[in-house]
Amino acid sequence: MMAITLVIAASLGAERLPLFDLSEQQRSIFYDIRLPRILLGACVGASLAVAGAGLQALLRNPLAEPYLLGVSNGAALGTMLAFVAFQDSEAARPVLAFAGAGIASFAVYRIAKSGAGMNVERLVLAGIIVTTFLSSVIVMLTTLLDAVKLRSFTFWLLGDLSQATRNGVYLSGIAALIGTLVLTSQARALNLMMVGERDAFDFGVEVGRVRMLVFGSTCLVVGAAVAASGSVGYVGLIVPHLIRLSIGSDNRLVVPFSAVAGAIFVVFADTVARTAIAPRELPVGAITALVGAPLFIFLLRRGS
């Protein structure tokens, strides 16, 4: 299915390309513009989906998602600072995005942690507090941008894969791979923790360590994804849900399957974004939200 999606995505674009005998210009369009963008979409989709799957398992909350927990907004703010302050440095974006995601998660973690342990409601609440705070900082910063920059930035905030470069693909590819591997390696522990953290502890699961690993890899993949493509919403929320509905909630399967399904979802959505009003483009985040919101409502109704 992944292969079919990639082939479909590769054959569609703003410009029609023949299957064989591509001219030099057409080769350039395919290899320098279309292919990196599709691959970046796959990496971003996989990253966001596994981050959602990991957080939902860890927090035992089906609504847990990089957005809800402030991770994405932390990354967005980091990228925005790079956008404003280090315009010329290609490395500044992912580094600051990762730092932003890390600081936001750490803040959420500290706010949520009260004396003895941490309960899930408190964590989600802390996530909402940090998310809204970071949103207002972002909005405040956007008022300082001039009109053209504001327009570019708004587009990026809504999720935009058009800035795909080879380096960007490598970077988010590595991040997605590491994230998926780490989260899959913790899947058994997450399975036990879903039953209850105390029970998991009795089974010899180092709850604190698992938590750090899951949070850490989430920050890594979300930081890389946001730096490359802005905020592509709903992927981390609906993809793991769909997977759990179809194959059950064993995280050893949910995490890798989410990675693949997330990749398919974003590549598909971006194909629409690239072609729907060509030669103009839509932000891919608008498409994922447009498809994601009704799908999520459908899932909710079916679930209850």
CB 96 within 8 A of CB 78: yes
The amino acid occupying position 191 is: N
- Report angle CA 163, 285, 55 to the nearest 5 degrees: 105
Q: How far apart are CA 146 and CA 231, in angstroms?
A: 21
> Is 101:219 a contact under the CB 8 Å cutoff?
yes
- HSE value, Cβ hemisphere, 13 Å, CA-based, for 174: 6
Q: Is residue 160 within the footprint of other proteins (CB under 8 A)?
A: yes
Which amino acid does the sequence have at 294?
A: P
Name which of 23 and 114 has its Cβ closer to other proteins: 23
Is 142 a residue that touches other proteins (CB under 8 A)? no
Pick the piece of the chain touching other proteins (CB under 8 A) from 23-31, 47-55, 129-137, 189-197: 23-31
152: Cβ contacts below 8 Å, ≥ 6 apart: none
Is residue 28 close enough to count as binding other proteins by CB under 8 A?
Answer: yes
* Given 19, 115, 116, 146, the residue binding other proteins (CB under 8 A): 146
CA 125, distance to chain mean position in Å, is 21
Site for other proteins in 276-295 (CB under 8 A): 277-281
Assess 13 for contact with other proteins (CB under 8 A): yes
Minimum CB–partner distance for residue 273 and other proteins (Å) = 10
48-107 binders of other proteins (CB under 8 A): 87
Q: Which of residues 29-48 bind other proteins (CB under 8 A)?
A: 29, 32-34
* 249-278 positions binding other proteins, by CB under 8 A: 274, 277-278
Residue 198, interface with other proteins (CB under 8 A)? no
Nearest distance from residue 174's CB to other proteins, in Å? 22
Q: How many residues bind other proteins (CB under 8 A)?
A: 29
CB 224 to other proteins: min, Å: 18
Closer residue to other proteins in complex, CB, 192/269: 269
Check binding of 14 to other proteins (CB under 8 A).
yes
Rounded to 5°, the CA angle 164-166-170 comes to 105
Q: CA-CA distance, 114 to 205, in Å (whole number)?
A: 21
What are the C-alpha distances in Å from 202 to residues 109, 199, 214?
23, 5, 20
Rounded Cα gap, residues 297 and 301, in angstroms? 6
Binding residues vs other proteins (CB under 8 A): 13-15, 24-25, 28-29, 32-34, 87, 143, 146-149, 151-152, 155-156, 160, 162-163, 274, 277-281
